[in-house]
Amino acid sequence: MTLEIGVVYVVVLMILAIPMSGLWRYDLVALMAVLLLAVLGIVPAEQAFSGFGHPAVITVAAVLVVSRGLQNSGVVDVLARWISGVGDQLTLQLLALCGLVAIASAFMNNVGALAVFMPVAIRLAHKSGRSPALLLMPLAFSAHFGGMMTLIGTPPNVIIATFRDQYVGEPFRMFDFAPLGIGIAFFCVTFIAFVGWRLIPDRKKSGAVERLLDIGDYLSEVRLLPDSPLANKSVRMMHSVTDADVLIVGIVRDGERYPAPSSFDMIQPEDVLIVRADVENLEEFLQEAELELAESKPLGEESLQSAEISLVEVVVAPDSRLVGRTARNLNLRWRYGVNLLAASRRGSRLRAQLADIRFRTGDVLLLQGRRDTLHETLQELGCLPLVERKLRLSRGGSLYLSSGIFAAAMVTAALGILPVQIAMALAACGTALTGLVSLQEAYQSINWPIVLLLGAVIPVGLAMERTGGAQLIADQILMISNYLSPAMTLALFLLTTMFLSDLVNNAVAVVLMAPIAIGVGQGLGVSVDPFLVAVAIGGSCAFLTPIGHQSNVLVLEPGGYKFGDYWRLGLPIELIIVAVGIPLILWIWPF
């Protein structure tokens, strides 16, 4: 092993290990890795950023824009509405939900498809009197199944297609994965609907929505004393009087309730304030602001809403601008006109000062805001509504126009008229030019951390290949394969990529495994296609942990799951994928 290969291996281990430790994010680590290789001369300086022009990066970004256009036009909402009459039988609900989300995620961003169907699943669970946990994990897993069906279903498929283009001279086409993906989806959805749901813990009180709505113990009505320093001050000036963690969520004036007062509303001496605070902060607020408790009476959700004001439970999406920031430094009330009333994480309600909680992906928040602007505000913040409260999940737009643009891109790519990156980029431009998405929405819909990750990690994968590091690993696998059949060697690749995808971003796993797969295929003197496809499928199989994929994280809190719940359903699914996938791969792409 040469020094260059040793350095590349250390850098690859850094890409795998540091994000798992939680020290730095995967996109930052990947960028540091390629810069380090460039400084050491292992990656030529002029090629260090070549990954950002890679067809896979362009395709992924374009698909995200087109997906937003499909959401805005209501295409997926039409599918979601069909489920309303499915009935209360759990197996039928699972077949309908999992089947439709798999179909939707085959053609659009997995997280976007999941975001539309999550409120539907929660509503069905409540209507049927069962825990949302029985529906949400199957829903998230089904988004993975759909990604296996088409070239654009998930980034690993696009990456693998470009590797095939480099070594075979022709990429995989749009629907080359369809027979394999449909077969896997059929068997896995059937298993979940009839057997697999029994492996999910049925916690009757699971899910954050009910816990967050139970905020009566945190609401109080307080009245100003004659010398209160709050009199004739605006709501936003309250913190010049007290440092207590208190939020004014309503004002009672002349017998009328006014929920969610603006920061500029003036507090009058005769007002009664509805405040959200725990006992300790409430006592501090009463003392410092010279207030007294009003007549004791139960307060609940109805006291926080009106014809203009609404409550909504949301989950923080992976690309949300909330991640890593607090309500205080975001100025949620001042800049966005929403109040944070409660927050939940990993099955527990957060009881620290809400204004200073640093948000994470998957946190569930209870927000109060104006009905007419709340949908746009949630889009801007990057939060996904969990419960349908007359809040539209998609805006107006032309269903037929968006479908036509998308279908044209799919057909031209499938027939080889245009390369997939050109077809999808044209579709993204068409989506913006026709007003299906605004330019601001188009940029917001692109998952920039994924773009940065792909652009940085692709040169690292090429460095593994150029230095001989990938071939060295392939040679070791070839030695092992002397004792295995080619089918067993193929299964080994599938299982290894599955394992990596449970721990790191699936794009990283695929970029690192693809050159090794090619080396093994060439070493065995057989087609590289089965090995590349096995790596692509393994990259979509992050079922054992909540951190393996964004979809898994999004349902963690709403479903009330624990970290160890995922493998109970995920392990049998991965075994089914191996049992079904290997024969199908060998049938469609024989050695």
Q: Is residue 114 part of a domain?
A: yes
The winner for highest mean pLDDT among 26-40, 191-205, 553-567 is: 26-40
Q: Is residue 153 part of a domain?
A: yes
Q: How many domains does the chain have?
A: 3
Q: Are residues 118 and 249 in the same domain?
A: no
Q: Are residues 502 and 426 in the same domain?
A: yes
Q: Is residue 390 part of a domain?
A: no
- Reported as half-sphere exposure (CB side, CA atoms, 13 A), residue 469 has a value of 23
* DSSP helix/strand/coil, 531: helix
Indicate the residue among 299, 332, 354 that finishes a domain.
299
420-422-427 Cα angle (round to 5):
95
Give the residue, 303 or 328, on which the prediction is more confident. 328
336-447-112 Cα angle (round to 5):
80
Cα–Cα nearest to 400, from 64, 83, 74:
74
Q: Are residues 136 and 229 in the same domain?
A: no
Q: Are residues 22 and 149 in the same domain?
A: yes
Q: Domain residues for 321?
A: 309-385
Take residue 87 and report the two structure tokens written for it. Answer: 């009935």
Q: Is residue 393 part of a domain?
A: no
How does pLDDT run across 270-282, given as a tens digit for each residue? 888 888 877 777 8
Q: Are residues 529 and 580 in the same domain?
A: yes
Query: What is the pLDDT at residue 582?
Result: 94
CA 300 to each of CA 260, 270, 297, 389, 560: distance values in angstroms, whole numbers, following the listed order: 14, 23, 10, 17, 23
Q: Are residues 449 and 349 in the same domain?
A: no
CATH number at residue 243: 3.30.70.1450
* DSSP helix/strand/coil, 92: helix
Q: Are residues 228 and 356 in the same domain?
A: no
Q: Categorise residue 340: left if φ over 0, alpha if ψ from -120 to 50, beta otherwise.
A: beta
Q: Is residue 175 part of a domain?
A: yes
Neighbour-count burial for 287-314, b at 16+ CB within 10 Å, e otherwise: eebebeeeeeeebeeebbbbeebbbbbb
Q: Are residues 26 and 48 in the same domain?
A: yes
Burial of 564 (0-12, 13-18, 19+ CB in 10 A): exposed
Mean per-residue pLDDT of the chain: 83
Query: What is the pLDDT at residue 394?
Result: 46
Q: Is residue 168 part of a domain?
A: yes
In the chain, how many H helices and how many E strands? Answer: 23, 12
Tokens 């060295």 belong to residue: 472
Q: Are residues 414 and 483 in the same domain?
A: yes
Q: Is residue 304 part of a domain?
A: no
Q: Are residues 291 and 419 in the same domain?
A: no
Indicate the residue among 331, 354, 385 that finishes a domain.
385
Query: pTM of the full predicted structure?
Result: 0.79
Indicate the residue among 278, 299, 320 that finishes a domain.
299
Q: Are residues 339 and 195 in the same domain?
A: no
Give the residue, 212 or 480, on which the prediction is more confident. 480
Q: Is residue 211 part of a domain?
A: no
Give the residue, 203 or 305, on which the prediction is more confident. 305
Q: Are residues 497 and 565 in the same domain?
A: yes
Query: What is the pLDDT at residue 533?
Result: 94
